[in-house]
């Protein structure tokens, strides 16, 4: 019996030693003689090729590509100093992902939210989010994120207000972004819409103290809208924009420049062709 157990253990022990040796050799080679590592090549596949390769499992391939992109984006969070985020590749992949599965809602959202790492990313995200808007016409989130990105990153209030207004019109759009939309509308000079939004804000507020503040802001917006309209009337009538707001009064389009409830000054900006509100300058 002892003889047979020895004859089994010996080759097993030999096998174990040989395996250990192989592991050690492997470790030694990779540690002391590393291979030249090529820079990682990231390729955006052609969307039709991707469809063919998916073998009708487009959803699955879209998911796998999505994981790649999200991991790439996540790597920036973990290694911000060492990692170079490849926006062109990431957004190219998001384009392919949304071509493979046009109803992959999270992918559109991710393009507008999680993948924004720089100002140029906002421009890259927009066509993808717009693609999503065509697929999900009743979804408020997609136009919201276009608006949000343009508002916060690019300070492009005109674009921001356009998309935030679209988002606001969608069913089930929350009122949480009304303030931002109002700000964007005001900054871009779209006072008519700002007025409508303010009225919604007032209607949705139950706190009296807040209501009185909003009422004052409503008056401000009414003033601005009125002045802007009169400036357009001036343009229609005289073929040019006014130089200052006083021109409107001089030409009889307004009686006088209205009083701001907070004492702000209304000024005409000829370069932006809109009325703006500025703090009154106090002379020392």
Partner 1 sequence: MGKIITISLVTLRESLRNRLFIGLLIFLLLFFVFSVYVSTLSLGTVARFIENTGMVGISLICLAVSILFGLFTLYQEKERNELYVILNRVPRSSYLIGRFLGTSCIIALFALFAGAGIFFLTWSFGGHYTPGLFWAVYWAVLEFTMLTAIGYLYYALAISFPLNSLMVLCTYLVGHSMNEAIQSFMGLGRFGSLWHLYLVKAISVLFPNFDMFDYRLAIVHDEAIPWTQFGLSTLYWFCYLLAVLALTSTIMNRKDM
Which residues contact partner 1 (rule: CB under 8 A)? Answer: 48, 51-52, 55-60, 62-63, 66-67, 70-71, 101, 103-104, 106, 110, 114
Helix axis angle for 87-100 and 119-135, nearest 10°, is 0
Q: Give CA–CA dist 9/144, Å, rounded.
A: 70
The least CB distance from residue 101 to partner 1, in Å, is: 6
Nearest alpha carbon to residue 164 among 116, 272, 192, 179:
179
Contacts 24+ apart (CB under 8 A), 56-63: 58/100, 58/101, 59/100, 59/101, 59/104, 61/100, 62/97, 62/98, 62/100, 62/101, 62/104, 62/107
Tell me whether residue 106 or residue 215 sits nearer to partner 1 (CB atom): 106
Please, are residues 266 and 245 in contact by the beta-carbon 8 Å criterion?
A: yes
The least CB distance from residue 103 to partner 1, in Å, is: 5
Please, are residues 118 and 150 in contact by the beta-carbon 8 Å criterion?
A: no
Please, are residues 255 and 245 in contact by the beta-carbon 8 Å criterion?
A: no
The least CB distance from residue 51 to partner 1, in Å, is: 5
The least CB distance from residue 142 to partner 1, in Å, is: 16
The least CB distance from residue 132 to partner 1, in Å, is: 14
Tell me whether residue 68 or residue 183 sits nearer to partner 1 (CB atom): 68
Tell me whether residue 50 or residue 160 sits nearer to partner 1 (CB atom): 50
Nearest alpha carbon to residue 151 among 117, 190, 183, 115:
183
The least CB distance from residue 104 to partner 1, in Å, is: 8
Tell me whether residue 114 or residue 261 sits nearer to partner 1 (CB atom): 114
The least CB distance from residue 144 to partner 1, in Å, is: 18
Q: Which residue has the tokens 């693609």?
A: 131
How many CA atoms does the CB half-sphere of 102 hold within 13 Å? 8
Tell me whether residue 115 or residue 185 sits nearer to partner 1 (CB atom): 115
C-alpha distances out from residue 277 to 92, 95, 227, Å:
42, 41, 11
Tell me whether residue 47 or residue 123 sits nearer to partner 1 (CB atom): 47
Tell me whether residue 61 or residue 257 sits nearer to partner 1 (CB atom): 61
Tell me whether residue 136 or residue 241 sits nearer to partner 1 (CB atom): 136
The least CB distance from residue 172 to partner 1, in Å, is: 18
Burial class (CB in 10 A: 0-12, 13-18, 19+), 133: buried
């Amino acid at each position: 019996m002892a003889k047979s157990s020895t004859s089994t253990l010996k080759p097993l022990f030999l096998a174990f030693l040989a395996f250990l040796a192989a592991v050690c050799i492997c470790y030694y080679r990779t540690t002391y003689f590393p291979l030249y590592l090529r820079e990682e090549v990231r390729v955006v596949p052609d969307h039709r090729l991707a469809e063919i390769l998916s073998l009708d499992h487009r959803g699955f391939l879209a998911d796998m590509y999505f994981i790649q992109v999200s991991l790439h984006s996540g790597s920036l969070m973990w290694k911000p100093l060492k990692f170079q985020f490849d926006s062109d590749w990431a957004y190219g992949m998001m384009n392919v992902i949304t071509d493979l599965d046009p109803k992959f809602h999270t992918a559109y959202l991710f393009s507008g939210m999680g993948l924004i790492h720089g100002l140029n990313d906002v421009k890259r995200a927009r066509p993808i989010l717009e693609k999503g808007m065509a697929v999900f016409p009743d979804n408020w989130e997609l136009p919201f994120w276009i608006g949000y990105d343009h508002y916060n990153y690019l300070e492009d209030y005109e674009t921001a207000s356009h998309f935030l207004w679209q988002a606001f019109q969608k069913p089930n759009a929350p009122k949480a972004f009304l303030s931002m939309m109002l700000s964007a509308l005001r900054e871009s000079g779209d006072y008519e819409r700002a007025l409508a939004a303010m009225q919604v804000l007032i209607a949705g507020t139950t706190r009296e103290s807040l209501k009185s503040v909003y009422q004052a802001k409503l008056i401000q917006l009414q003033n601005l809208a009125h002045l802007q309209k009169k400036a357009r009337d001036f343009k229609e009538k005289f073929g040019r924009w006014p130089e200052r707001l006083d021109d409107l009064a001089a030409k009889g389009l307004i009686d006088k420049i209205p009083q701001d409830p907070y004492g702000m000054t209304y000024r005409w900006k000829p370069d932006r062709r809109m009325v703006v509100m500025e703090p009154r300058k106090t002379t020392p």
